Amino acid sequence: MAHPRVPSLLLVSLLATAACGTTAPSPASPPAPAPEREDPAMTDLAAKTARFAPTDLSADVSALPESERKALAHLIRAAQVMDALFLRQVWAGNESMLASLAADDTRTGQARLTYFLVNKGPWSRIDHNEPFVPGAPAKPAAANFYPPDATRAEVEQWLGGLAGTAKQVATGFFTTIRRGPNGGLMAVPYNVEYQAELALAASHLRAAAAATTQPTLKAFLESRAAAFLSNDYYESDVKWMELDASIEPTIGPYEVYEDEWFNSKAAFEAFITVKDQAESAKLQQFAGALQEIEDHLPIDAKYRNPTLGAMAPIAVVNTVFSAGDGNRGVQTAAYNLPNDERVVQEKRSKRVMLKNNQQAKFDSVLVPIAQIALAPADRGKVAFDAFFTHILMHELMHGLGPHGITVNGRATTVRQELKETYSAIEEAKADVSGLFALQYLVDKGTLKASMEETMYVTFLASAFRSVRFGITEAHGRGQAVQLNYLLDRGAFTVNADGTFAVDTAKIRDGVAALTRDIMTLQAGGDSAGAGSMLAPRGVIRRNTKAVLDKTTAVPVDIAPRFPSAAALLSAY
Ligand code: ZN
């Protein structure tokens, strides 16, 4: 096996920032010379790592004026700080382990380092956090947000004794819980806990603010820099919602999944991206057609909404650099932020869709799956434009169809009535009605006929990609429902050789029928109906499993490299 090339941009930033952190990495002893025979542990590690296809994520920044390219370079430097902070948040031992892995130039050491950087720690995230570096403990559920010697019960009891502001602060997104001098627990705000790094990140953000000529970007960056120092993120979240610029940065503490105790502590991440002008224009065009699509949904007219509200904001962007919680394990392809309820109530939330991440996943995962899952004649019809346009339409279709409903004279919502079946049903709805909507626009002449030739086949291939992640999660389960429903109607078929195909004579009706069935049970708040939709179909059937079994060599996801970011950093 050749030495895997470490994503050097990431490593350099991690080591540089780790070295200026509060805990100096312990110097590693020189490694013993590498034995050149493959040991089974190495083979296993190589196989694990191979599931993430190294892929360039680049964005065309050549059309941006120099002021904005300069701003991007400063933003990338700020984002690198998020890498180091996230590493420390995951586990207190992460930085010193990274330093010793980086100093180990045996093949085994380098292989561990590569996979460590993919996972941002010594645990394989897609293997239930199984450790892959000798000596690594089990992944701490409390991450590094709570004292290592505290139990969950102790923290719960302490939180239970707090009230008012003290409780708000201790359970808030932006504090860690530490032991005070007397051994008791105390909340430490992020601007104190991560003081040196946040000051550094803030200075990069201010430099970016000084470089850009775009007012809303400048305003966001200045206020986010201030938030890093004050620990008050509200104002900068508002400014983030008001962004209207060619550069779309997301940087700061956001998601709470890493805190497996209480889901209350925010992990640092960054997505430094540029707006995709062509896709943004397409989105506007679709937005203008939404009411007409609603008016033609294949459901009883009384269930249609005569006046759709304003569309929730969506930004389509290309990633230049991502960091921290935004770049570990399986890559994010889209996100909704902010999480602060006050901002969401005032400004709603924004969905950011990372187009080049989707393209990379399409190339590295979906195309190879299509080669296995589809009949030879259909393989060439799998197209990225159909894939991405359907994803855009999926997002928009969440806003169409029944939401607020009346059941037995009582005003309620689909979400409330469908309870635990809601998410899988709603995801299936957005998918299948997205196909319906694209077909509607093809028939109208808004979209080219080539969309019709590619979208159903592409959707079929992508169904295999989705259910491959499992069907416990809403998207996978919703996808299984559609696959099996359309198979049962003969709109998808299975060939003698086990490959799948689209029946072009039946697919349109199949899509309309499933859209009608799902939206009708949503309109009635029919949770029993949702159950009978899900139970027989939210499963992996034998023919599907036979295909999945052949995809074991296809990557699960990508390991991104950032050539545009590297070029910007060396230029500015
Ligand atoms: Zn969705």
| Ligand 1: centre distance to CA 176 (Å) | 32
pLDDT at 460 over 90: yes
**The tokens of 98 are what?**
């990274």
**Average pLDDT rounded to a whole number, residues 6-31:** 46
Pick 515 or 3 by higher pLDDT: 515
* Residue 472 pLDDT: 83
pLDDT, tens only, 417-427? 999 999 999 99
pLDDT at 497 over 60: yes
| Ligand 1: centre distance to CA 132 (Å) | 33
pLDDT at 236 over 70: yes
* Residue 185 pLDDT: 98
Count Cβ atoms within 10 A of the Cβ of residue 494 and give its class: 0-12 exposed, 13-18 middle, 19 or more buried: middle
Residues pairing with 124 in the sheet: 130
- Supply the mean pLDDT for the chain: 92
| Ligand 1: centre distance to CA 184 (Å) | 44
| Ligand 1: centre distance to CA 229 (Å) | 35
* Residue 407 pLDDT: 94
Give the span between the Cα atoms of 232 and 237, in whole angstroms: 10
Confidence category of residue 471, pLDDT binned at 50, 70, 90 = confident
Using only C-alpha atoms, the chain has a radius of gyration, in whole angstroms, of 25
| Ligand 1: centre distance to CA 423 (Å) | 9
**Do the beta carbons of residue 517 and residue 402 sit within 8 Å?**
no
Element spanning 544, H or E: helix 542-549
| Ligand 1: centre distance to CA 535 (Å) | 20
| Ligand 1: centre distance to CA 258 (Å) | 22
* Residue 36 pLDDT: 52
Confidence category of residue 502, pLDDT binned at 50, 70, 90 = very high
| Ligand 1: centre distance to CA 504 (Å) | 26
* Residue 8 pLDDT: 52
Give the span between the Cα atoms of 113 and 121, in whole angstroms: 9
Residues pairing with 492 in the sheet: 502
pLDDT, tens only, 300-320? 999 999 999 888 889 999 999
| Ligand 1: centre distance to CA 393 (Å) | 10
| Ligand 1: centre distance to CA 520 (Å) | 18
C-alpha distances in angstroms, 446 versus 80, 285, 286, 450, 518? 42, 9, 9, 12, 26
| Ligand 1: centre distance to CA 539 (Å) | 19
* Residue 25 pLDDT: 35
| Ligand 1: centre distance to CA 394 (Å) | 6
DSSP 61: -
Q: What is the 3-state secondary structure (H, E, C) of 423-482?
A: HHHHHHHHHHHHHHHHHHHHHHCCCCHHHHHHHHHHHHHHHHHHHHCCCCCHHHHHHHHH
pLDDT, tens only, 35-80? 456 677 788 899 999 999 999 999 999 999 999 999 999 999 999 9
| Ligand 1: centre distance to CA 399 (Å) | 10
pLDDT at 195 over 70: yes
| Ligand 1: centre distance to CA 427 (Å) | 5
| Ligand 1: centre distance to CA 300 (Å) | 23
| Ligand 1: centre distance to CA 50 (Å) | 29
Rounded percentage of the chain residues whose pLDDT exceeds 70: 93
Confidence category of residue 2, pLDDT binned at 50, 70, 90 = very low
* Residue 19 pLDDT: 41
* Residue 381 pLDDT: 97
Confidence category of residue 400, pLDDT binned at 50, 70, 90 = very high
| Ligand 1: centre distance to CA 219 (Å) | 31
| Ligand 1: centre distance to CA 281 (Å) | 21
| Ligand 1: centre distance to CA 178 (Å) | 38
**Average pLDDT rounded to a whole number, residues 451-462:** 97
| Ligand 1: centre distance to CA 369 (Å) | 22
pLDDT at 17 over 70: no
| Ligand 1: centre distance to CA 353 (Å) | 12
| Ligand 1: centre distance to CA 82 (Å) | 28
**Do the beta carbons of residue 131 and residue 138 sit within 8 Å?**
yes
| Ligand 1: centre distance to CA 257 (Å) | 19
CA 367 to chain centre: 20
* Residue 31 pLDDT: 47
Q: Dihedral through CA 14, CA 20, CA 21, CA 24, nearest 10? A: 90
| Ligand 1: centre distance to CA 345 (Å) | 21
* Residue 42 pLDDT: 80
| Ligand 1: centre distance to CA 20 (Å) | 41
* Residue 470 pLDDT: 84
* Residue 125 pLDDT: 94
Give the span between the Cα atoms of 511 and 567, in whole angstroms: 45
Helix (H, G, I), strand (E, B) or coil at 180: coil
| Ligand 1: centre distance to CA 402 (Å) | 15
* Residue 324 pLDDT: 98
| Ligand 1: centre distance to CA 474 (Å) | 9
* Residue 13 pLDDT: 60
| Ligand 1: centre distance to CA 391 (Å) | 9
* Residue 15 pLDDT: 56
| Ligand 1: centre distance to CA 125 (Å) | 23
| Ligand 1: centre distance to CA 481 (Å) | 14
| Ligand 1: centre distance to CA 130 (Å) | 29
Give the span between the Cα atoms of 229 and 174, in whole angstroms: 12
